[in-house]
Structure 1
């Protein structure tokens, strides 16, 4: 499992001014640090040789200075809880820094370091330390293993510059101990001077140093920006308003002659600014909006490496810097206010939470008009679009009209753009209406599979389309085939589902042999039609290929024996027509019957 790393310690690099400012070149004057103490510094040489001309201390060896130390800074800290502890020492990637950590209660008995790193910085890293590289470099050889500490343990930390060229460094404490004990992971009782621990301030706030002491006779204030402490003229009160980052010193004269001298380091970080951003009008079908796309506008030119942007659901959360919204913000219909916070990376106390913006989320427009319209044969025009316009929207058709609906007289595509009258874009606001010029349907053919007790009838339309079919005014069906149709007269209907009318056709279902053999053997000796009894007054006329009428049959005739005027006709193809009286008493010729058969001898 990856360790959760919490960063404590406020960092700022004070630039070249700190190169000349000796933070603590000697172990005996090691700077005490604790949870709320910002740690930064620059080094320029070392004081006394804390290793008494020894050649090595753990991994550290003599440098070009002739001693183990070359440009040294010493710190001390005491643990206030148990758990995992580490630290990151940040610096310019072009510089070479080393460190050694000693578990000791005083400088006279340091012993060997428990963590030590003397690797050169040929890889150009920005960090060395204990734990994990905050930039995620797993192969950074300048990192040592985490510490597992107990309460009350004392440590001394030596930070040493080997390259003799440095622009300062920072220290950030890390580790799970700050999750379990965010306020007492390190013991702050070791920082006990009058002016308190170093101060990390923002450049938009006032810093007042208070040295008030009972019975004090006088106060003198000093400032060191790298060349040594110098008196601040005219400042003789118990407090000092600080406007510039530097090391400050106060000397308090008291009657007992036990005068108090106290130093404090004050640093200022640039307070970030949050710039105004525009509102967003979005469609719910996007599902998510990338809040980080607003970062460049919020930053307004500030570096994203120096200023962190976060977004929150409430002003209280933005002010407190808690509960940041995920970058991929889930969209829910309605208006939502997003609160913006910009925070200094170097000093999280410096922030701006003055800006906010709205996200308005709309549901996609669902047209309440059909996107397919059929202009039927015989109709001059068709209406498309909304018959009842929405007063909140403007409409613009590709044909030039700006009404909610238009009348068209030809088929084709018609595009309409629907816009919010408030000037805000709505979701998918462009719709295409397809108008089809459709003919009235006709039945092209009816295929009858007859000569059986139960027959099959198939309706063939004159074109492709969306049709339903009905037999004898029964229920409509999507299948164009009817099964088990009884012999007799029937009515077929074909309905255009696009509203372009109905076609009807009357048919007769009967059966007849496709050939007969009038040779007197008693088998198939006559030709006749089966099912005539289902028709009213049926009449069958038989012709030769030249159209000569050979025989007239009724339902009472037994059939045709293949003779004409008593003479046998030769083997050949013959034709017939069938008529009957319809329900109105009109003689009607039966259609869709294959009226061709053969005589064989």
Structure 2
């Protein structure tokens, strides 16, 4: 019923037993509640104004006249420590409200500790404290009440409807699970035969009127047509098995006879019918246990009985720790214990049936999600190397083996099925196949700007998933490097999947794009910066026809734009660089064959 397992204490006397309901419209005459809860058969009027003309008490507001509108009052005393709630059940087309006061005196009601005042526009069947027993998220419920022994409460129930079909009171909370017989203090009821009794229809109730000076006992039953003498019953105890109002008259010597009455109601005892075992995949999918309720009920009404499911027999007996109706199986084999409970009286239940939840394990695959094929290899084998003979394998390419050989790049999807009867549990895994070739550097461009900055661009024969690195710097995913320092550098391109690399050495220098040898001491000579970081550097200058014009060395003053003392004309001129590399070899700087302009 709730996450704590609800104990429902209910006498539902709609129909022929409506006349047995106990109702009081006044706080001073509030009906005491003990282990079993009397149920109102309908309120009528409000008696004395218990609020002395006030217009508001907590959430309850004055309607026409007083705060009370067709009211009923009850009182109860706490016998144990725990968490308490209650459900007030009624016809969903009607509008009922309540206020709960913590006090032992109607003259000092104070403000209610729990209160409900809604118009029931959502057609709820319950209001109360704790949780709606139907499991819905009901705004007309207040928080649970934590109670202690000796606390006393007064409950006012109001009817704001034109219709008045009556209501039931059902107590709930873990206090009734732990202390079903003493949660409410029965000393509040002063009656020879004790408080009202709710029992299961497969049990016998014994009423005890034993009195020390009794001469005789006369027992009566009102089953709806007034009290009638029960023939042959004159003992101090009476065993009964039918619902009704019972009366005893204790005949005493001095004529001061005792008369006591008590209400007894039998709630129907359910039977749990056998349930079929279930089989499900252990893939995190929830099983709708509420679909098995009909099996458990076997034709019994879901309005009279409620079905819950538990992981242990003890929990089923206690009505505790009910499994979610959206149950996710996690075990290969699990026994589920079923409890069918009377809505009127949770002490009437049957927890005799179980069913097995058989979980089918999903196939476990040990395959790579990505496979890379390098260089000259033209095919690769992918899939599950250790297949299970009980599983079936199917690829998106149509093959039905656990391993396949492919020669084309792409995404290949493998579905592996574990079948048990009509249940199929499937694991799906995709494998991405990539064919890679080692990178090959086709060219390197070194561009120089007027501000002496440079841009180095690496070109490849084919695109791929590569990283680019200059010297030992951090690799990058672009083949463009900006503003490298003058000197010798190593450019490396690597395949990210381990399919080889390619390396080139370059030399970066700095030089002006033009010079003006006109004697003004500004840009009169042309030279190259950065030669000092190279061994034996030599700059050779040519004209556009390839004629050698001049050579510059590490400490040269620069070229003045002349050849053998003759000034050369304005034009573009080319140069190349040779030096001794780290291996001691004389070499020409690769990718460096640039030009500059002479202006006069």
Q: Would the TM-score normalized by the shorter structure come out above 0.5?
A: yes
For the 8 Å contact 2:41–2:167, the answer to whether it is kept is yes
Post-superposition offset of 1:349: 1.2
For the 8 Å contact 2:452–2:512, the answer to whether it is kept is no
Where do 5+ consecutive residues of structure 1 fail to align? 1-5, 46-54, 61-73, 98-110, 116-122, 140-147
Post-superposition offset of 1:342: 3.7
1:295 aligns with one of 290, 299, 303: 290
Residue 145 of structure 1: aligned partner: none
Q: Does 1:486 align with 2:476?
A: no
Distance 1:23 1:551, change over 3 A: closer
Q: Name the CA distance, whole Å, in 2 between partners of 1:367 and 1:334.
A: 19
Q: Name the CA distance, whole Å, in 1 between partners of 2:174 and 2:580.
A: 102
Q: Does 1:401 align with 2:391?
A: no
For the 8 Å contact 2:244–2:265, the answer to whether it is kept is yes
Deviation larger for 253-262 or 326-335: 253-262
Residue 408 of structure 2: aligned partner: 410
SS in 2 for 1:373: strand
Deviation larger for 221-230 or 395-404: 221-230
Deviation larger for 313-322 or 494-503: 313-322
What RMSD, in angstroms, separates the aligned Cα atoms of the two structures? 7.1
**For residues 299-448 of structure 1, what are the structure 2 equivalents within 5 Å?**
306-310=304-308, 312-324=310-322, 339-355=337-353, 368-376=366-374, 378-389=376-387, 394-420=392-418, 429-448=427-446
Post-superposition offset of 1:499: 2.9
Deviation larger for 374-383 or 550-559: 550-559
Distance 1:92 1:12, change over 3 A: farther
Where do 5+ consecutive residues of structure 2 fail to align? 51-71, 97-105, 111-118, 133-137, 142-147
Residue 187 of structure 1: aligned partner: 187
Distance 1:321 1:404, change over 3 A: same
Q: Bigger radius of gyration, 1 or 2?
A: 1
Post-superposition offset of 1:571: 2.1
For the 8 Å contact 2:538–2:552, the answer to whether it is kept is yes
Residue 596 of structure 1: aligned partner: 595
Post-superposition offset of 1:495: 0.8
Q: Name the CA distance, whole Å, in 1 between partners of 2:30 and 2:565.
A: 141
**For residues 3-152 of structure 1, what are the structure 2 equivalents within 5 Å?**
10-19=9-18, 35-40=34-39, 58=48
Count of matched residue positions in the alignment of Structure 1 and Structure 2: 532
Post-superposition offset of 1:501: 2.5
Q: Name the CA distance, whole Å, in 2 between partners of 1:201 and 1:396.
A: 61
Post-superposition offset of 1:319: 0.8
Q: Name the CA distance, whole Å, in 1 between partners of 2:589 and 2:73.
A: 115
Post-superposition offset of 1:35: 1.9
Deviation larger for 512-521 or 411-420: 512-521
**For residues 204-215 of structure 1, what are the structure 2 equivalents within 5 Å?**
205-207=202-204, 209=206
Distance 1:467 1:199, change over 3 A: same
Distance 1:93 1:493, change over 3 A: closer
Q: Any idea what the Cα deviations from partners look like across 1:139-192, whole Å, max 9, x if unmatched?
A: 9xxxxxxxx998999x9x99999x9x9877656689999999944523177332
Post-superposition offset of 1:551: 2.0
Distance 1:585 1:324, change over 3 A: closer
Q: Name the CA distance, whole Å, in 1 between partners of 2:530 and 2:86.
A: 106
Residue 65 of structure 2: aligned partner: none
Q: Name the CA distance, whole Å, in 2 between partners of 1:457 and 1:166.
A: 91
For the 8 Å contact 2:221–2:245, the answer to whether it is kept is yes
For the 8 Å contact 1:9–1:35, the answer to whether it is kept is no
Q: Name the CA distance, whole Å, in 2 between partners of 1:258 and 1:18.
A: 31
**For residues 163-178 of structure 1, what are the structure 2 equivalents within 5 Å?**
170=168
**For residues 406-555 of structure 1, what are the structure 2 equivalents within 5 Å?**
406-420=404-418, 429-448=427-446, 459-461=458-460, 465-470=464-469, 477-478=475-476, 481=481, 483-484=484-485, 486-487=487-488, 491-509=490-508, 514-515=513-514, 524=524, 531=531, 534=534, 540=540, 542-544=542-544, 548-551=545-548
For the 8 Å contact 1:539–1:580, the answer to whether it is kept is no
For the 8 Å contact 1:35–1:186, the answer to whether it is kept is yes
**TM-score between the two structures when normalised by the length of structure 2:** 0.59
For the 8 Å contact 2:362–2:418, the answer to whether it is kept is no
Post-superposition offset of 1:599: 3.4
Q: Name the CA distance, whole Å, in 1 between partners of 2:255 and 2:433.
A: 104
Q: Name the CA distance, whole Å, in 2 between partners of 1:554 and 1:152.
A: 113
**TM-score between the two structures when normalised by the length of structure 1:** 0.59
